[in-house]
C-alpha cells in the first residue's frame, strides 16, 4: 500500500471534515451518549478493522474515543486510513 502524496491527502480530507490532519496520521475525537454506546461503536469498528487488516490507535474514556489512524507499514497515510476513517464516520451515524 503506497503512501499518499500531500495532494492526495488534501483531496481525501475534503470528504472527512471532522478529521484533523497530523504529520503522519489523521485524528478525530468521537463522543457518544455513554460508555455502552462508545464501546458498542468500538466493537463494530473492530470487525471492520479486522476485515481490512488495518487497525486504529485509540483511547476510550467513558463516552469519548480518541482515534488516530496511520499505516505503520508505510510510515504514513494510505488509502486504508481514509477508508477506515470513512467507515468510522458512517458507524458513528
Ligand atoms: N494497522 C495499521 N494501522 N497499520 C499497519 O501498518 C498495519 C495494521 N499492518 N494492521 C498490519 C496490521 C500488519 O502489521 C499485519 C502483520 O498484517
Supply the range of the domain harboring residue 66. Answer: 6-92
- What's the pTM? 0.97
Q: Is residue 77 part of a domain?
A: yes
pLDDT digit string (tens) for 31-55? 999 999 999 999 999 999 999 999 9
Expressed in angstroms and rounded, the spacing between residue 50 Cα and the centre of ligand 1 is 10
Alpha helices in 1-93 (DSSP H): 6-13, 35-52, 79-92
Read off the CATH number of the domain in which 16 is found: 3.30.1360.20
How many structural domains compose the chain?
1
pLDDT for 1:
83
Asked whether the beta carbons of 75 and 3 are under 8 A apart, the reply is yes
1 assigned to some structural domain: no
Instruction: Please give the residue that has the higher pLDDT: either 1 or 8.
Output: 8
Q: Which of 39, 82, 86 is nearest to 58 (CA)?
A: 39
How far apart, in whole angstroms, are the C-alpha atoms of residue 4 and residue 44?
A: 26
- Ligand 1, atom 14, residue with closest C-alpha: 73
Amino acid at each position: 500500500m503506497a503512501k499518499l502524496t500531500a495532494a492526495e491527502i488534501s483531496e481525501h480530507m475534503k470528504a472527512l471534515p471532522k478529521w484533523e490532519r497530523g504529520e503522519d496520521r489523521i485524528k478525530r475525537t468521537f463522543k457518544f451518549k455513554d460508555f455502552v454506546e462508545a464501546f458498542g461503536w468500538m466493537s463494530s469498528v473492530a470487525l471492520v478493522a479486522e476485515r481490512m487488516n488495518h487497525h486504529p490507535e485509540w483511547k476510550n474514556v467513558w463516552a469519548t474515543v480518541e482515534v488516530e489512524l496511520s499505516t505503520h507499514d508505510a510510515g504514513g497515510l494510505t488509502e486504508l486510513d481514509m477508508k477506515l476513517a470513512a467507515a468510522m464516520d458512517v458507524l458513528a451515524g
